[in-house]
Structure 1
Amino acid sequence: MSHRMKLVRETPLEQNEVEPFGPRDLARRILRTTRQISLATLDRNKGFPYSAVTNLSVEPDGAIVFYGAAISHHSRNIMADPRVSVTLSQSEGRDVLRDRRMTLIGTAHRLDGIAFERAKNRYRRKFFRSSKYLDLADSCMFKLNVEAIHLNGGPARYSDSLSAEDLSVDLRGAEALLEQEETLIAHFERFPNKIKMLTSDINGVRGRWHIATIDPEGMDLASETEFHRLSFSQRVTTPATLLGLLS
């Protein structure tokens, strides 16, 4: 059986059944501000869906990354069969059927080497208490290769037309920025008033904000309970440009 999947639905949605909205912008906002996901894998013994709730981390290029201990059921399932789906929901205790959510279908692959170390460090910056399990010998980080997206923005607001490219950030030419990401974050952390200035227009949240990731389009910020996306006014590809933009 082929592992390739091109559509979430066998019959595409009729446009007249959907209310007008901006699916790409909404999908990108959901991706960057959701903390937890429902992860469904295929049980390696019986083949039934096995669902777990876990934390969501997003790489600078927009790729979904999640943690798994090698001994966990979902990690062993992925190593036997990489097909998974993840659902991002932002109902925040409200009626989930009336709020925004997104399901991504694809294959998950274990990261290793420098990609593993960098993903782990970004995850640690987003989840402040994660060191107790991140530093265990069997820690794994999995990256999701998205093959299909189903976006539900609330009643009559659906889209099956998005692709992985709609969630991604172009990193071409930004090698220096990514290489210096941790150095830049450490620089901003030395000047807490700068971070306060960057987060001064975030309403309705409490707690101290930290910079978790930097990419050419913006920064992902994390507090103890929330994520926030800070978009740049222009594309940034070098440390000098970033420092000049935020000076």
Structure 2
Amino acid sequence: MSDRNTRAEQASMARRLVRSVDGGILSTISVEIEGYPFGSVAPFALTHEGRAVVYVSSIAQHTKNILANPRVCLTLASEPRAGTNRQAIGRVTLVGDAVPVPADHVEAAGERYFQFFPESRAYAGTHDFRFFWIEPRRIRHIAGFGQIFWVEREDWLLGSPDWHAEEAGILEHMNEDHGDAVAAIAADLLGKEVSDARLIAVDPEGFHMRTSDGVVHGSFEKACQTTDDVRQAFIQLVRGARA
């Protein structure tokens, strides 16, 4: 395997971990205690390309810190199973600059975030909430003992897929016309039958679905750049689930 392919695979592994969780610790540089790091629990959503979107209030301490100094890191870890050594679980530290989402991306970034946190729509009229995203500089991924590497920005960020504007239609089609297929994929992913599964998001490398157990992420076998790629990926998942 070439160095370029190795880097791409490492980046994909790290992105999949990040997409599998919905929150982490956002560390900013404190203005209250000058120069010291300040950690905040932060829900986030990852864009198709790989930028972490956060929704923050102007009165929050971390927002004040970001406005004074945009350098941040977002640290997250996979959910440990009972009895698991926490030093052995996967974790990622995304280092970058937190900046306001550009005006021409706010609507799409906001909808992406609200797909995961629909209750947050109500925050729009309070405390001057706004969207920031983290422009990544480098990403540190610890996949487990002996599996530690840096991911560079150029390997982390994906191109916008051809179908990005069609995501809502893809979700509606799958949920309304192929609910049995969605249920089969959910049962295979969770290891048990579920009756309330709904797809809520698709990304180039996988999908999110919401069930009574919460939101879970599943992966495609390969990245999907076209609408037909997505269709074939779901067909493959359904066949595998029903095999």
TM tier, smaller: 0.7 to 0.9
* 1:8-47 aligned within 5 A: 23-45=10-32, 46-47=34-35
CA apart distance, 1:149: 1.7
Write the distance in 2 (CA, Å) between the matches of 1:30 and 1:242.
20
Q: Which runs of 5+ in 2 are unaligned?
A: 1-8, 236-243
Write the distance in 1 (CA, Å) between the matches of 2:200 and 2:126.
21
Q: Identify, as 1 or 2, the structure richer in helix.
A: 2
CA apart distance, 1:178: 1.4
Write the distance in 2 (CA, Å) between the matches of 1:135 and 1:122.
19
Letter in 2 for 1:167: W
CA apart distance, 1:76: 1.7
CA apart distance, 1:194: 3.5
Q: 2:166 aligns with which of 180, 199, 209?
A: 180
Q: Deviations over 1:25-50 (max 9, x none)?
A: 43122121012111000112423211
Q: Which runs of 5+ in 1 are unaligned?
A: 1-21
SS at match of 1:120: helix
Count of equivalent residues: 221
**Structure 1 stretch displaced more, 207-216 or 99-108:** 207-216
CA apart distance, 1:213: 2.9
Write the distance in 1 (CA, Å) between the matches of 2:120 and 2:139.
29
Letter in 1 for 2:200: A
Write the distance in 2 (CA, Å) between the matches of 1:157 and 1:64.
23
1:171 and 2:171 matched: no
Residue in structure 2 matched with residue 12 of structure 1 by the alignment: none
Letter in 2 for 1:178: H
* 1:189-200 aligned within 5 A: 189-191=175-177, 192-200=179-187
CA apart distance, 1:144: 0.8
Aligned identity (percent) is 23
Q: Deviations over 1:42-93 (max 9, x none)?
A: 1124232110011121111122112211221111211111100111111436
Which structure has more relative contact order (CA 8 Å, sep 6+)? It is: 1
Residue in structure 2 matched with residue 84 of structure 1 by the alignment: 72
1:116 and 2:106 matched: yes
Aligned-residue Cα RMSD (Å) equals 2.8
The 1:185/1:99 distance shift into structure 2, 3 A limit, reads: same
- Normalising to structure 1: TM-score of the pair? 0.76
Write the distance in 1 (CA, Å) between the matches of 2:85 and 2:117.
26
